[in-house]
Structure formats: C-alpha cells, structure tokens
Amino acid sequence: MAYRKTPAEIGRLEAAREHLVTCATSVVTEVGWAQASVTAVADSAGIAAGSVYQHFASKTALAVEVFRRAAGREVDVLGEVLQGPGSPVERIGHGVEVFARRALENRGLAYALLAAPAEPAVGAERLDFRRRYRALFARAVHEGIEDGLLPAQNGEITAAALTGAIGEVLVDPLDTRDEEAAEELLVELVAMALRCAGAPPAAGQP
C-alpha cells in the first residue's frame, strides 16, 4: 500500500473523470438537465450509478462542472473575437456571428447553456455566464462610442440586448431547415445587432 498514488494511477483517475464529464455533457446536450439523472449519465459512461460518487461529491457538483466547461469554451471563443483585431463595430458584428453560428451548429448544447430548465446551482452558473458574455459585448460597445463609431448609449443595456436577442432567436428556432436559411438568419442577426448598437447602415450591410 503506497503512501502516494503513482502517476499512472492518477492518470487513470483523471481520465475516468474526464470521460464522465464528457459523457455527462453529451447526455445533457441530448436530453437536457432535468432528464440527465445520475443513472442516465452513468449508463452513458459505462459505469454504475454508485461509481459516479467516486469522482463527484454530488450530482450537483457534476452538473456545475459540466456547465463550467462548456460555458468556459464559449466565453473564450467570444472573448478572442471581441478583443481581437478590427474596429469595435467589425468585432461586434463578427462576435454575434460567431456566437450564433456555434449555437446553431450545436443547438442542444446552446439550449442547455442558455435556457434549459435546470437546478438552482446550474441556474446560478448560467447567470454568471450571461454576465461574462454581456461584459465582453459591453466593452466593445464602449470602445465603439469612444472611437466615435457608435452613438452615446448605455453600453450595458445594449450588451444585454444582444445576448438576449441572440438567445431568443436561437432557442426558439425560426426557420433554419436548410443551410441557406441558416446563413440568411445569421446575416439578419448581424444586421439587427449593428442597428441595435447604433452603427450606421453603411458598407458591409446590403
């Protein structure tokens, strides 16, 4: 009986935990939080329900971990776009497009992150998630105002509007049956976002 775990042991445990998180994410993506029971998740990962508690103290802890992983990825991607190169207005338009495109490509996950019924702990994470999104947009809006590209406005409200608007459009799918309709939706969304921020309807928007 060793005093410490060997690197190999630690590695296997880590891998098992990762696998569990991955499978749980899939289950949530497919059936939502409410239907993602410990049994269902364990089945998906190929282990017994009881074994889940070797890796997480509670179902809630697992759910929070799943949410944080997925939400963190989205925030990172949006952050890179919104704080990257280009004018503030260009970045806002691009950010909206990236946000929406990723959500359309994985709508189950987007719904889970944005709106699906969930336990309180996950709801709290979601609030934080949306705040981070808003903060990113708000910063870009403020830069646009400083640069004289956008009219004076409450940037926090505009940022909240952008996240709310995109979420609303994505969660209750309008019509995205084919590829073409989806692309059209993206174009309209970006145009709406730029109007919302007060960008003059000039070049780049037909």
Partner DNA sequence: GTCTATACCTAGATAGAC
Partner DNA sequence: GTCTATCTAGGTATAGAC
Query: What does 83 bind: its own copies, DNA, none (CB cut-off 5 to 8 Å by kind)?
Result: none
Helices 88-105, 59-82: inter-axial angle, 10-degree rounding: 140
CB of 16 or CB of 165, closer to DNA: 16
Site string for DNA, 59-88 (x = CB under 7 A): xx----------------------------
Contact status, residue 40 vs residue 63, Cβ threshold 8 Å: no
- Does 206 bind DNA (CB under 7 A)? Our answer is no
Distance CA 42, CA 48 (A): 6
The answer to whether 92 and 144 have CB atoms below 8 angstroms apart is: yes
Q: Give the distance, in angstroms, between the CA of residue 172 and the centroid of all CA atoms in the same chain.
A: 16
Residue among 48 and 127 whose Cβ is closer to its own copies: 127
10-49 positions binding its own copies, by CB under 8 A: 34
Are 104 and 176 in contact by the 8 Å Cβ rule? The answer is yes
* Site map 13..42 versus DNA, x via CB under 7 A: x--x------------------x-xxx---
CA separation (Å) from 71 to 143, 156, 159?
25, 20, 18
Applying CB under 8 A, the residues found at the interface with its own copies are 34, 117-120, 123, 127, 130-131, 151, 153-154, 156-158, 160-169, 172, 174, 185, 188-189, 191-192, 195-198, 201
